[in-house]
Amino acid sequence: LSKFVFKSTSKAERIPIKIIKREFNKMAQLLYAYCLVSTGIKITCINQTQKGSKTTFVATNGCKSVKENISCVFGPKQLNNLIEIKQCRPDEEVLEELKVSADNCDIFNLSGYISSCAHGMGRNTNDRQFYFINS
């Protein structure tokens, strides 16, 4: 990509840096999502500059849980801001109130993490909102 971007071309043929940065951010979001959901797999993504210096962009250590992957990708401080969500089976009283049979309770299973609602704990952008189905 860098050879294509920085080769000698006319001004009209050059890709604006703004577009490259936007596409890089899209790629990063996709990579973050893959790193979070891929438990038990070690992932390392390295960015190499034109000068040859390498920096680790994102890495997981083959963690066994999504929570550990969150720590690897976004840092251990982020875990302090998260609350675990686990689906509880509704009791008979709730089922009767909602007119739902007990057989329909196991259609899906909801689990995951959400930001704490304490002041300053969440983010006001959607750059860290990830949803996984059948993971």
Residuewise pLDDT in 10s, the chain (135 residues) = 555 555 565 666 666 778 888 888 899 999 999 999 999 999 999 988 888 899 998 999 999 999 999 999 988 988 888 888 888 888 889 888 988 888 777 777 888 888 887 777 666 666 677 777 766
The string of DSSP codes covering 35-72 is: HHH-TT-EEEEEEE-TTS-EEEEEEEE--SSHHHHHHH
Local structure of 129: helix, strand or coil: coil
| Cβ-based neighbour number of residue 36 at 10 Å | 22
User: Please, which residues bridge with residue 84 across strands?
Assistant: 113
Compute the residue count for the chain. Answer: 135
Q: Where are the beta strands (DSSP E) in the chain?
A: 42-48, 54-61, 82-86, 111-115
CA distances from 88 to 59, 79, 97, 108, 114 (A): 33, 22, 16, 11, 16
Res 98: pLDDT: 87
Whether the model pTM is above 0.75: no
Q: Measuring CA to CA, which residue among 37, 36, 82 is closest to residue 58?
A: 36
Contact present, 60 and 90 (Cβ < 8 Å)? no
